[in-house]
Structure 1
Amino acid sequence: MDIEFVRSRFIKHFDGTTGSVYASPGRINLIGEHTDYNGGFVFPGAVDKGMIAEIKPNGKDKVCAYSIDLKDYVEFGLNEEDAPKASWARYIFGVCREMIKRGVDVKGFNTAFAGDVPLGAGMSSSAALESTYAFALNDLFGDNKIDKFELAKVGQATEHNYCGVKCGIMDQFASVFGKEGSLIRLDCRSLEYQYFPFKPEGYRLVLVDSVVKHELASSAYNKRRQSCENVVAAIKKTHPEVEFLRDCNMEMLNAVKGEVSEEDYMRAEYVIEEIQRVLDVCDALEKGDYETVGQKMYETHHGMSKLYEVSCEELDFLNDIAFDCGVTGSRVMGGGFGGCTINLVKNELYETFITTAKERFKEKFGRSPKVYDVVISDGSRKLC
């Protein structure tokens, strides 16, 4: 994303002067899917694609915002009743309101923003947008600076209270806390976190986007969450200390096999194994063992496809192609039912893999997948 491009649009749409420029990244999650609401670990990292916004206080009591990508201009006040109708503007409005609730004296400002996070690819463009404005407003108007954790919570609260999405904290956390060359293991129960080195020399990280999103995602998500809670309730009868599947092991699960449905058992088996896989990947990264990382990614895909049943034909097909091409690791990334696979690919296999994936996918499904190379990068920051 080009600062000069954003600046040129800001100058054109406002008074010809310039403000301050801020950026926040989108994110990937290397491993740890459907573990967050089970009290487990996730393992995200910020990427080199994100949002850039230029912002300048305007001395008024309203925000004048221009979306460069949508070519859309909106003005809104800073009181609760001033919520704009445009969905993209509600993100900015929500951040303003959440910062005000936390004691930041937000005033009116002019802003223009643009992004290069691919929409619908599971890289959290909305979190990047929220984090950009939370970081910027804290810098511009925050006398008592809010810490980074609270900035991530501002983004999450914006989704909950102004955009109708009951998301977890991972996306905003990764966007704010991102660090070049490192992934972040976040404990979703305690919110403790630790950086782990991710410098895969000789490998590339690439997303292959199936360009499909199946509609049953939200209802299926709720059903799987219920399955996990059913198993926890059964185990809790003999292990009252258990709160989440994170507290369980396979021995506990097998002890209640006759008390839960086959479906619930499968869902819990996947989650218990996935929580352990995140820890195994962390250990492997500390040793620079990317082959084990890749093996665990394939295990995750198999679990999401066969046990949690949140994959789809297109994603399984892309995963099979990766395996056939000798790709080190591949799995569905995100909640499932569409979106991307994330792939850890040796440099010398990259061209063959991408060419094969595009050709075979188009032959089978009649369209080409999109390909995004990603590099692990820094989190929210001021550019100038």
Structure 2
Amino acid sequence: MDIERVRSRFIKHFDGKTGNIYMAPGRINLIGEHTDYNGGFVFPGAVNKGIMAEVRPNGLETIILYAIDLKDKVEFKINDTVGPRASWARYIYGIVQEMKALGVPVKGFNAAFYGDVPLGAGMSSSAALESCFAYALNDLFGDNKVSKWDMALAGQATEHKYVGVNCGIMDQFASVFGEEGKLMRLDCRSREFEYYPFNPQGYKLVLVNSKVKHELVGSPYNDRRNSCENVVKALCAHFPTKKFETLRDAEWDELEAVKAEVSVEDYTRAHFVLGEKDRVLAVCDALEKGDYETVGQKMYETHKGLSKEYEVSCEELDFLNELAKENGVTGSRIMGGGFGGCTINLVKDDLYDRFIAVAKEKFNAKYGHEPEVYDVVISQGAHKVC
């Protein structure tokens, strides 16, 4: 990322003095989609794209923010109980409130930031923004006393309380805990996690961005979460002696037992979640054996489930998935919350050039624009740059 770009804008828009520069990454998720808020497993890693911010205390009771990409400036008081109207600024406002609640004595500051996470690509630019500022405030005002987990949870609380997305913890977890060259298997129920070295010899991991933008605020995301919660309520009623907190606690035979007691839509979505729970564990076993063919097979199975059962795909993403299959790509699936964004693809080195060329040509012929392609580099989580 471009340090000079941040520094030059910070100097221009504030008092000419420099501050500290922080960075937090976006993330990919190899497999395990829509399982985090269902208490299941996810398998993310931080990437070399994210949010970079320069931050300096200003001695005031005011926070002044400049979004470099948007060329937009917003300010609000430390004790403002309403917060700014600009949607991008509400993420930072929320982090300020959550870090204060954790005991960090946040004072006024100036900040300029930009991002190179493609917006709407399912790589979680919002979690990168939250993690970047949580790390910065912890460093500047909190003597780094707030734990990594609490910083991640502050980001999640920001989404819930100030943005309106009832998200799970995966995105913020990956942005805070990421390590270079390692993926992480996170148990979203216990919060136990394990690092897995990820250096697939003979394969590339590549994102193909449809450039179809998605908006998760509002009904599409929350509707699916509600479906899962409806099935949990039915399970609790049907099996009163067993405790069901999330779908993670359900077995296949128990889901079948309540099939007639829930809507077809709710059952189908729960069916996907249970299948995805199994697929993540299968991928972990396959990675330990270096069996990337099984990893790829499970990725295709996940895409089918996300498209047909969870219904968060779209025509463009299904088209990219089919192109991958036709061109011998080992694994391909929609990545992220859905409704647009990227496919994540596990591609053999010798097939990479042809797949990318065909994907660009055929997608452009059908939809009038080429998809964007990003090779994935697994990188460090939130940190101070200088």
Answer yes or no: is 1:147 the counterpart of 2:147: yes
Aligned to 1:266: 268
Q: CA RMSD in A?
A: 2.1
Give runs of aligned pairs for residues 1-384 of structure 1, distance below 5 A. Answer: 1-81=1-81, 83-143=83-143, 145-213=145-213, 218-236=218-236, 237-238=238-239, 240-243=241-244, 244-384=246-386
1:298 shift after superposition: 0.6
Partner AA of 1:248 in structure 2: A
DSSP-derived class of the 2:66 partner: strand
CA 119–220 in structure 1, closer or farther in 2 if over 3 Å, else same: closer
In the alignment, the residues of structure 1 paired with residue 103 and residue 149 of structure 2 have an alpha-carbon distance, to the nearest angstrom, of: 16
Would you say how many aligned residue pairs link Structure 1 and Structure 2? 384
Distance 1:240 1:34, change over 3 A: farther
Q: Secondary structure at the match of 2:333?
A: strand
User: Which is further off, 174-183 or 216-225?
Assistant: 216-225
Give the whole-Å Cα distance in 2 for the aligned partners of 1:309 and 1:322. 20
| Aligned residues of 1:242 and 1:248 also touching (Cα < 8 A) | no
Give the CA deviation at 1:213: 4.3
Structure 1 residue 319: Cα displacement: 0.5
CA distance in 2, matches of 1:132, 1:258: 46
Q: Distance in 1 between matches of 2:128 and 2:20?
A: 17
Q: Report the alpha carbon displacement of residue 250 of structure 1 after superposing the two structures with TM.
A: 2.3
With the length of structure 1 as denominator, give the TM-score of the two structures: 0.93
Q: Specify the code of the residue in structure 1 equivalent to 2:163.
A: C
Shift, 1:46, TM fit: 0.7
Task: Check conservation: 2:214, 2:341, Cα contact below 8 A.
Answer: no
Contact 1:76 1:82 in 2 (8 A): no
Report the Cα distance in structure 2 between the residues aligned to 1:226 and 1:349, rounded to whole angstroms.
41
State whether residues 22 and 54 of structure 2, in contact with CA within 8 Å, keep that contact through their aligned partners in structure 1: yes
Bigger shift: residues 15-24 or 302-311: 302-311
Cα 1:71/1:229, change in 2 over 3 Å: closer
Kept in 2, the 8 Å contact 1:217–1:336? The answer is no
- C-alpha displacement at 1:242, in angstroms? 4.4
Give how far 1:259 is off. Answer: 4.4
Shift of 1:383: 0.7
Bigger shift: 112-121 or 188-197?
Answer: 188-197
Supply the AA of the counterpart residue of 1:362.
N
CA contact (8 A) 1:197 1:286 kept: no
Aligned AA (2:45)? G
Aligned partner of residue 338 in structure 1, secondary structure: coil
Pairwise CA distance, 1:239: 6.6
> Which 5+ residue runs of structure 2 have no aligned equivalent?
none
SS of the equivalent of 1:358 reads: helix
Cα displacement (A) at 1:5: 1.8
Q: Which amino acid aligns with 2:242?
A: E
- Contact kept, 8 Å, 2:134 with 2:154, in 1: the verdict is yes
TM-score of the superposed pair, with normalisation by structure 2: 0.93
Measured after TM superposition, the shift of residue 253 of structure 1 is 2.9
Q: Give the residue type in structure 2 aligned to 1:251.
A: D
